[in-house]
Amino acid sequence: MSNSAPSTPSPAPAGSPSRSMDAIMALCKRRGFVFQASDIYGGINGFWDYGPLGAQLKKNLRDAWWQDMILNPCWGRRGPGGQRVVNVPLETCIIQHPKVWEASGHVGGFNDPMVDCKETKGRYRYDHVMVFVPESGDPGDKPVFAYVGDQPTEAKQKKKAEKTFGAIKSVALSSLPQPWTRVIGPDAEKPGTLTEPRMFNLMFDTIPGAIRDEANKAYLRPETAQGVFLHFKNVVDSTRVKIPFGIGNTGRSFRNEVTPRNFTFRSREFEQAELEFFCHPDESRDWYVFWRDFRMDWWKAIGLAGENLILREHDKDELSHYSVGTSDVEYRFPFTAPGFGELEGIAHRGNYDLTQHQTHSKVKLDYFDTTRGETLPNGGKKGERYMPHCIEPAAGLDRGALALICEGYTVDPSRPSPEFLKLHPRVAPIKAAVFPLMDKDGMPEVADRLTDELFAKFGRYGFIESDAKQSIGKRYARMDEAGCPYCFTVDGDSLKDQTVTVRDRDTGQQQRLGIGQVSGFLGEKLGL
RNA sequence: GCGGGCGUAGCUCAGUGGUAGAGCAUCACGUUGCCAACGUGAGGGUCGAGGGUUCAAGUCCCUUCGCCCGCUCCA
């Protein structure tokens, strides 16, 4: 825990009533972190908007990612070979050529009606499933045998069907009336295990161009990663980067989730921050470990330092067929407790994506590495041509913002303002507040001058608030709830000795500080 | 997609067929000189939406939208 002061109880454990999602969602709405999209029309399932504080919180999170991944990668931490880590940014469109998603595998797997087998957990394209039935067409009370053409199941099921019926014929599953209580799935033993066909529209589609023509259908991207692979060659040719290096891409992605659930956690429109890091196949495992460890450290550094954060290595059977390894940075959200929910996946993608796009686009995407190969008489290298491997740390910014809010949300009944948000100063949307203790006797003027100074120095990083109304306790409480880390208060003594009090959000404790020291104090606390 | 719960002021909720309410919050004025203080006052509602029954609907019925929980799904 970040706070070790004995007077401060540790945050309520995940899943306890005092850290309930209801309370967190209520605070999010009350203080303007998150609103439901199209609220006044009754909302729209799976879409959430950010209010003033939430928009700034998420921007701070995005900026932190950009700073620590692109501008000063890994805080200067050296790569596995002792080299400086080099990453460059890219910003690609939400809509790309439809073939991109065929190459990536997103179209083939998810755009057709599928039937699932409850027994084997197999999934089949509805229009590919055929069934062996007796020549007469009427099986009586006997089961019929489903199969998928050109697959091992065909011969197996044909044999069984012939044994049962003798003369058989083949019909489409779609020609049989539902429910298919008598159909034995391709790999199943018992009849009646196939579900009704279901559409899995993972991707939203749209039709660019003035004239609606289904032939022009395009998709809203389900991930930002593919935009990077498409420009791998352009980046190499235009920036003098040498492998190993990474390309970062942030932006909105869209997935037509079957069940949007859990506040902003599973939204249909969401923002990703993804890095595709390209390296030689032989070094890919080391880089995978490097990125996995750094990304975990990064989330800790912006405030998820508690036991609610874990790094989970995927089991072998969870991995995609092309992946050497995948880890998730996972957070114990109130709605997943005692389990965890994914914040970021760090995947070793091998050379799958570049290879796929090379095949589909017929454009060479391999890399000529002039630092490898045998040494030539002139001292240079002969070079080596290879398809780079890729490590992909892919973070969800909305999930990150939600985790920051959940982690920061604290209830301490012993405080005058029990409910408060312990946001790390780097991501807190409000960086500081300035209050005149009373709205008279020269205090507002001093407060105004200090406010101006803080705006000039820190306004570019977040909000600087000032408030002269109502009791001081109420103003502190408001700032606590909004996650503002420090409040500076001008009182009667300020006029005499040029000092103010600074109040720490997490402890409620105050100390006196010269007005001239305030900027230095705040800059240090904000890590600037 | 299936099952269950919920939807009344910004928030938490009361209101079981008969004039829409309370507390907190917000705003103003006054008091108060460091922790959601006190006093006085103000603003804020087509009771999620649409339809129906009824002399009369927040309340009963139907439909629909949204949120929450469980299952399902999540190469």
Task: Supply the pTM of this predicted model.
Answer: 0.83
A314 touches strand B (CB under 7 A): no
Residue A249: which of A271, A274, A278 has the closest Cα?
Answer: A274
CA A14 vs. chain centroid, Å, equals 21
A31 touches strand B (CB under 7 A): no
Q: Residue A308 in contact with residue A3, Cβ under 8 Å?
A: no
Rounded to 5 degrees, φ, ψ at A416 are -60, -30
Q: What angle do CA A461, A297, A425 make, to 5 degrees?
A: 25
Q: How far is CA A305 from CA A75, A297, A302, A429, in A?
A: 17, 9, 8, 19
A42 touches strand B (CB under 7 A): yes
Rounded to 5 degrees, φ, ψ at A399 are -65, -35
What is d(CA A138, CA A147) in angstroms, rounded to the nearest whole number? 18
Low-confidence ranges of chain A (pLDDT < 70): 1-19, 108-114, 117-123, 149-152, 178-179, 197-201, 317-323
pLDDT of res. A152: 65
Nearest-nucleotide field for A488 (CA, C1') = B34
Nearest-nucleotide field for A353 (CA, C1') = B75
**Run of H or E including A218:** strand A218-219
Write down which residues 234-263 in A have CB closer than 7 A to strand B. Answer: 257-263
Q: How far is the CA of A21 from the C1' of B31 (A)?
A: 40
Please write the tens of the pLDDT for every residue from A330-346.
998 888 877 888 999 99
What is d(CA A62, CA A318) in angstroms, rounded to the nearest whole number? 29
Chain B: nucleotides below 7 Å from protein CB are 1-2, 7, 10-12, 25-28, 32-38, 48-49, 65-75
- What residue has its CA nearest to the C1' of B12? A26
Those residues whose C-beta lies under 8 Å from the C-beta of residue A35, and which sit 6 or more positions away, are A29, A48, A49, A50, A51
A486 touches strand B (CB under 7 A): no
Q: What letter represents residue A163's amino acid?
A: K
What is d(CA A447, CA A467) in angstroms, rounded to the nearest whole number? 9
DSSP character string of A276-345: EEEE-GGGHHHHHHHHHHHHHHHHHHTT--STTEEEEEPPGGGS-TT-S-EEEEEE--TTTTTS-EEEEE
Write down which residues 134-193 in A have CB closer than 7 A to strand B. Answer: none
Crossing angle of helices A52-66 and A397-408, in 10° steps, is 110
A323 touches strand B (CB under 7 A): no
- What residue has its CA nearest to the C1' of B64? A42
Nearest-nucleotide field for A27 (CA, C1') = B11
A518 touches strand B (CB under 7 A): no
